[in-house]
Amino acid sequence: MRYNLPRNVTCDGDSHCVLRWWYIGGNNWSEADQLVASTLALAAMLHNTDAHGRMTKPAHRGWMGRLPQFSFVPIDYSDNGLNAGGVAATTSGPHGVCGDPYTQAAPREHETGGIYGQFPKHGARAITGCYAPGAVVDIQIQITANHMGYFTFGLCKLNGKNDKETEECFQSLTQPGGAERWPVPSGNDFFNMQYKLPSGVTCDGDSHCVLRWVYTGGNNWGAAGQEQFWNCADIYISSTCGSPSPVTSAPVVPTAAPVTPAPVVPTVAPTPPPSDVCKGNTNVCFWPLTNQVVQYPKDDCIKQSAFVWCP
């Protein structure tokens, strides 16, 4: 026999799919019962296991326990699937702000005060990143099952040790160039990016900030909703942490006697042809910064300033 696999399901790397055979006898069932059971069997035959991604730098609450300095925090061995219950749950209602199902009893596991959000108990010992105000933060994300899409990041300041993060508290962060979204290239790998902290925010001592990663998948174009993932990390922002981003200022030029320069004919570097930018790739969406082909159709590719459509 032969069955068709769904076109919008992929699974490789740490993700995989389970194909199940289900045999239902027909000697003790009515014809209607057999039809219903057969339909259920076919619907259950394919199962795509959850394994998607996590924020490893700064270490989010479910991951940090794997690091020796945070051994007092439990390890969440399913921390790469914090999608708040999946598309069906998040499109029909609210979600936990750090990726837990909204129906989970408060405090939810990955929120402040939950079994992984241990800042109220351990204070500074549970901080996984310390940065100066206005600093550019190096962030690392591990993707274990790539659904394309994009990343965004937000910051929430909590003034008291037992204060809780809320959706309204998170303010969007931008990359040094001003973009909010970081498009996800193809492949299952560790990806590095930079985002800038606000210069007017500080949080240390009993106050701390929550850095949140949000991954919006891109594999359900045209569907009712995209699958999303959330991770939260506890950080400090203080003048005692690191250094702010360098500010480039014009150098002071000493006064000298005026010299009449010889006329110089300016040279203009030729604009590289598309073939140079595309590295020989054709009919694909290409990311020149990383020399990678990304799996976007032309209409979506040209909307991203970082990508080039190679005809």
The domain ranges of the chain are 1-49, 53-237, 274-310
- Give the right CATH number for 53-237 from 3.90.550.10, 2.70.50.50, 3.90.650.10, 3.10.310.30: 2.70.50.50
Segment 58-77, tens digit of pLDDT: 999 999 999 999 999 999 99
**Cα 11 to the center of its chain, rounded Å:** 18
CA distance to 66, 218, 244, 265, 311, per residue, from 150 (Å): 26, 7, 27, 45, 24
Residue 255 clears pLDDT 60, i.e. is over it: no
Q: Is 35's pLDDT higher than 60?
A: no
pLDDT at 179 over 80: yes
Give yes or no for a contact between 238 and 203, defined as CB atoms under 8 angstroms apart: yes
Question: Does the predicted TM-score (pTM) go above 0.75?
Answer: no
Closest by Cα among 160, 100, 153, 103 to 129: 153
pLDDT > 90: percent of the chain: 52
Q: What percent of the chain has pLDDT over 70?
A: 68
Query: Measured between alpha carbons, how far is 268 from 75 in angstroms, rounded to an integer?
Result: 57
Average pLDDT over residues 241-248: 58
